């Protein structure tokens, strides 16, 4: 907590292609996480999963002063990963080679990162299936439908990931107007932090009205991590 009672939410954004985790990184994962890692056949997806869980555990170790491998991270009854102790909330997202990690003391967080740009027919199909009527009309009249759809989708996914109930049949119920720093779902307000980098859009949703953002660097999670290339400098609009 900060002096003005705002929740300080931490956010890390990195490019997994330009990061080389130590060979022992998988040793910090739980048995369930290692089994999940072994089941991922796509090399990039496996790299993102390993790096995300490794960085999460390293940062939690710094915050809570425990062995990174000692944290009990499991799925709750709604299928959302969480700490058994409930001390900190976290969420992960990845798209392409980019990875985002968000952490918050106690307050629910959700983060969504999207690098794909869809064509007009695909946008129209998804909008008709998942979005509210007013949102469909805004996209149909937008001069930049790919950008606007991508941004709107990350808002909805981030809010629903924070809420923890899943996106099925809920996307049209997340209320957000472009340019606004807050969204609502099921009567709950979510503070939004949004950013862009080239063709990528990111939204971080934090439950409640009062929060501020702290950007993490890779060194904040793991000082000895080998970085082999430039990292993204995604500008966040608070």
pTM (two decimals)? 0.94
Residue 145 confidence class, pLDDT cut points 50, 70, 90: very high
- pLDDT above 80: residue 209: yes
Region 62-74: what's the mean pLDDT? 92
Please check whether residue 2 lies inside any domain of the structure: no
Look at residue 139 and tell me if it is in a domain. Answer: yes
What is the CATH classification number for the domain harbouring 130? 3.90.470.20
> What pLDDT, on the 0 to 100 scale, is given for residue 172?
94
Share of the chain above pLDDT 70, in %: 98
Helix (H, G, I), strand (E, B) or coil at 138: helix
Instruction: Please state, in angstroms and rounded to a whole number, the distance separating the CA atoms of residues 35 and 24.
Output: 16
What confidence score (pLDDT) does residue 69 get? Answer: 94
In a domain, 131, yes or no: yes
- CA torsion 117-121-123-124 (nearest 10°) is 170
Report in angstroms the alpha-carbon separations of 5 from 94, 103, 184: 30, 17, 21
- Give the residue-averaged pLDDT of 42-64: 95
Within a domain: residue 155?
Answer: yes
| Average pLDDT for 75-92 | 86
CA-to-CA distance for 232 and 238, rounded, in angstroms?
A: 18
In a 3-state reduction of DSSP, which class is residue 14?
A: strand
Helix (H) or strand (E) holding 154: helix 145-163
Please determine, for residue 78, whether its predicted confidence score (pLDDT) is greater than 90.
no
Residue 238: predicted pLDDT: 65
210, part of any domain: yes
211-215, strands of its sheet edge to edge: 88-95, 98-105, 7-15, 211-215
Q: Does some domain include residue 132? A: yes
Residue burial 176-210, b: 16+ Cβ < 10 Å; e: rest: beeeeeebebeeeebbbbbbebeebbbbbbbbeee
Q: Say if 184 falls within a structural domain.
A: yes
Q: Structural domain tally of the chain?
A: 1
- Which position has the token pair 């002096």? 3
Percent of the chain at pLDDT > 90 equals 79
Structure-token match 């971080």, residue found: 204
What mean pLDDT do residues 191-201 have?
Answer: 90
pLDDT in the model for residue 1: 47
User: Which residues form the domain of 110?
Assistant: 7-237
pLDDT, tens only, 176-191: 999 999 999 999 999 9
Task: Extract the tokens encoding 126.
Answer: 């998804």
DSSP state of 97: T
- Whether residue 55 lies inside any domain: the answer is yes
- Kindly state the average pLDDT of the residues 37-57: 95
Average pLDDT value over all residues in the chain? 92
Instruction: Give the separation between CA 93 and CA 180, rounded to whole angstroms.
Output: 22
């Amino acid at each position: 907590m900060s002096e003005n009672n705002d929740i300080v939410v931490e956010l890390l954004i990195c490019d997994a292609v330009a990061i080389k985790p130590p060979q022992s990184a998988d040793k910090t994962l739980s048995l369930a996480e290692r089994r999940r890692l072994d089941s991922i056949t796509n090399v990039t997806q496996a790299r993102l999963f390993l790096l995300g869980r490794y960085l999460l555990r390293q940062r939690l170790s710094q915050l809570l002063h425990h062995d990174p491998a000692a944290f009990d991270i499991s799925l709750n009854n709604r299928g959302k990963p969480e700490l058994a102790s409930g001390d900190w909330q976290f969420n992960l997202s990845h798209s392409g080679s980019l990875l985002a990690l968000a952490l918050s003391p106690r307050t629910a967080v959700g983060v969504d990162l999207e690098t794909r740009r869809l064509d007009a027919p695909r946008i129209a199909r998804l909008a008709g299936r998942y979005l509210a009527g007013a949102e469909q009309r805004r996209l149909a009249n937008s001069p930049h439908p790919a950008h606007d759809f991508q941004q709107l989708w990350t808002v909805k996914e981030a809010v629903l990931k924070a809420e923890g109930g899943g996106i099925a049949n809920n996307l049209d119920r997340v209320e957000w107007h472009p340019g606004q720093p807050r969204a609502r779902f099921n009567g709950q307000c979510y503070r939004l932090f949004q950013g862009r980098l080239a063709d990528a859009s990111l939204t971080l949703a934090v439950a409640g009205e009062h929060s501020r953002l702290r950007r993490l660097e890779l060194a904040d999670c793991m000082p000895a991590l080998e970085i082999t290339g430039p990292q993204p400098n995604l500008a966040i609009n608070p």
